[in-house]
Structure 1
Amino acid sequence: MSIQPDFKKHLLLPALIGAAITYGALSLLDDESLQREQISALESRILDLELLLAQKEEELTDARFFSAGVFGVADASALSGSGATNHQKPAAAANVLPDQAGSEQTSDTASLDSQQLIKDLGTLSDRDPRSFSEKANALLAGNAGIEGVAIVSKSVFDLAENPEVLPDYELESLYQSQSNPDLQRVIAQVMSTRGDNRLLEKQITKAQASLSSDNPSIRQQALVELGKTRYASAASAIAPLLQDSDTNVKLDALLALRATGNQSHVRLAETLVSHPDPAVSWLAKDVVNSLQNLSERARTQLASTDIVAELPVIAAP
């Protein structure tokens, strides 16, 4: 009868499926030990990468990304903890620049009028014959916190291609008169865009002195400062810390190398590609991939994008 073959087909189909599943299960069992090792390795890598991601997020929180213009406006909470209070700022701002005296101020003003102050700093005016460095020093005398530094840093950056308003000797004068590391770095970076790396070399020498500290945290902070320079010469100072005995220092050294190095520094990261710590190995590969895309002349003289990436944050209006 024709029904019997159909009946057999219906019985054979589940049997074939069951056999396939059984075969697959047996194959998996054969490779069980290998799979366990792979799964364990992957789980370990995921945990390490999660720790690395948390570290990067913390560094981004501390980084000085500029909030206005192309990059939008930063959240005002970025300035929390700066030590400046609402009732202090309007009073300090009132005595900064003569051109600012006529601007409208109210008791509800929560921050400096950053845009107006930046404009005043970069404007040559008969009403205010002071030089840029004199006006900047006066502003910082009353607003030495993060906001004042951010305003002056932004103004320095805006005038990078305007040596008539901000000549090199004015930049050097401001560099010598101020001790804030972020402002000094921005000044040195602007000088680099003009072809003069002397101040950046000074920044590297200053940070390099802390790399030999017995305290890993101090070594890490020095690496962060070197990374912020975005300058290829810093890579040579960073290189020895790639072999640091502290894993966190080693990771920060890789991050700093990625921010400052170029194609000529690829070999420095390649030595860690096979490191037994998965986090170190993964980051080393990432650094190698990043630096391979840069020429050997990259970062030997800074571009404006290098400066923007580390500009101190200006508070939201």
Structure 2
Amino acid sequence: MNRSSGLTTIASKKSALLYAFIGAALTYGALSISSNDAQQRQQITALEHKILDLELLVAQQEQALNNAYAVGITTTATPLAMATPATSSTAANTTTSVDQQDTEQSQANASIVVDSNQVLKALSTQSDRDPRSFPDKINDLLASNPSQENVAIASKGMVDLTDNRDLLPDYALESIYQEHSNPELKRVAAQVLSARGDNRLLEKQINTLAPRLHSESPEERQRALVELAKTHYAGAATAIAPLLQDDNVGVKLDALLALRATGNQGHIRWADPLRNDPDPAVSWLANDVVNHLQNLSETARTRLTDSDIASGIPLMAHTN
């Protein structure tokens, strides 16, 4: 399928959807005029909801098809089957239409799963038909639609290629980090490079976040701590430590959580004094942090593992 025929398919889907809307409207009018029976009113409401569902499904199918073209693949997923226009004035026909649309929604959801997985597979595959590099494919994918789903697909693609320097060399990770502004994508690129033994990008990300830790706004300090926690990198613990003494209890608790997510045995000394904090929430969490870090050697998290990265990557919404 080429792009022209794919867009034609979308147009045909919209036309079919329009006919379905017309049929649904006729059914709605006939039912409203013929009876005020409670059961029929319920069926009319259900039909209205299904019309909204169909609008959503067409939008999802368009995004999935655009994603496929962005990474240079042809999808073989079953197209969305549109409902036969409802023209009968009977409640029985309305019920049949609703049942058919339930089936169509399940089929469409299944095709979206296939589309997301196909996009992910295409990102990680290089062929004579599509010789683009991994960074180029990510650039095209996010240029066509920088949605959270596509960021998740790109992030998962990088993690899957952690051990494949041929398809995803170190300089490609640096290119992705430098060229994109999405913080999730930048962090995952830095984490994958760390798993290969190079922490330069993670150190750069920590330095970028550091000024926010000194913000006058407690909420901004907390947001920066959350971002540091997501790195799961021991080098972030040093930046986190001063906020364990923050006057704001909320910031202090988030600092403990961030230390728990990034530290190791070598950082227990920073949390230990808080085990006797007068605030019971702080003392309880400090005890939990100390107990957790005791299980991690002083070299833990100095070079990230696959599990460290996987625990924080954005989730793909349409994977099994």
Gap change, CA 1:96 and 1:211, over 3 Å in 2: same
Q: How does 1:13-52 map to 2 (within 5 A)?
A: none
Per the TM alignment, residue 117 of structure 1 is displaced from its structure 2 partner at its CA by 1.1
Cα deviation 1:155-184 (Å, max 9, x = unaligned)? 100000000111011111111111111111
Would you say how many aligned residue pairs link Structure 1 and Structure 2? 233
| In structure 1, distance between residues paired with 2:286 and 2:234 | 18
**In the aligned structure 2, how far is the partner of 1:306 from the partner of 1:97?**
28
On the 8 A contact 1:149/1:312 being kept in 2, the answer is yes
Q: Is the contact made by 2:187 and 2:205 (CA closer than 8 Å) also made in structure 1?
A: yes
Alignment of 1:83-94 (within 5 A): 86=60, 88-94=62-68
**Structure showing the higher helix proportion among its residues:** 2
Structure label with greater radius of gyration: 1
Matched, 1:285 2:258: no
2:116 to 114, 117, 120: 114
Distance 2:291 2:259 in 1: 12
Q: Distance in 1 between matches of 2:75 and 2:286?
A: 55
Instruction: Please point out which of 129, 132, 145 is paired with 1:130.
Output: 132
Could you tell me which residue of structure 2 aligns to residue 8 of structure 1? none
Match of 2:159 in 1: 157
Q: Which residue of 2 aligns with 1:197?
A: 199
Tell me the residue number matched to 2:224: 222
Between the aligned partners of 1:136 and 1:156, the Cα distance in structure 2 is 10
Contact 1:90–1:105 (Cα < 8 Å) also in 2: no
CA distance in 2, matches of 1:221, 1:136: 27
From 299, 302, 309, the equivalent of 2:301 is: 299
Q: Which residue of 2 aligns with 1:52?
A: none
Counterpart-to-counterpart distance in 1, 2:253 and 2:149: 31
| In structure 2, distance between residues paired with 1:281 and 1:307 | 29
Q: Does 1:263 align with 2:236?
A: no
Say whether 1:245 aligns with 2:247: yes
* Gap change, CA 1:105 and 1:143, over 3 Å in 2: farther
Question: Which residue identity lines up with residue 66 of structure 2 in the other structure?
Answer: A
Distance 2:313 2:284 in 1: 28
Identity of aligned residues (%): 56
Residues of 2 paired with 1:105 and 1:141: CA distance?
A: 26
2 CA distance for matches of 1:138 and 1:105? Answer: 25
Farther off after superposition, 106-115 or 195-204:
106-115
Q: Shift of residue 142 of structure 1?
A: 1.6
Tell me, yes or no, if structure 1 residue 104 matches structure 2 residue 77. Answer: yes
Structure-2 separation of matches of 1:182 and 1:97: 20
Distance in 1, matches of 2:79 and 2:317, equals 18
Q: SS of the counterpart of 2:164?
A: coil
Q: Structure 2 length normalisation: TM-score? A: 0.70
Distance change (3 Å), C-alpha of 1:261 and 1:96: same
Q: Does 1:142 align with 2:166?
A: no
Give the deviation of 1:92 after TM superposition. Answer: 2.5
Equivalent-residue separation in structure 1 for 2:154 and 2:161 (angstroms)? 11
Paired letter, 1:86: Q
Higher relative contact order (CA 8 A, sep 6+): 1
Q: Structure 2 vs 1, CA of residues 88 and 241 (structure 1 numbering), >3 Å: closer, same or farther? A: farther
How many angstroms does 1:307 deviate by?
0.3
> How far is 1:91 from its partner?
4.5
8 Å contact 1:121–1:132 — kept in the other structure?
yes
Q: Is the 8 A contact 2:195 2:303 kept in 1?
A: yes
Over the aligned positions, Cα root-mean-square deviation in angstroms equals: 1.7
Q: Give the superposition deviation at 1:143.
A: 2.3
Q: Is the 8 A contact 1:242 1:250 kept in 2?
A: yes
Distance apart, 1:94 and its partner CA: 4.1
Q: Are 1:170 and 2:165 counterparts?
A: no
Partner Cα separation in structure 1 for residue 63 and residue 78 of structure 2: 11
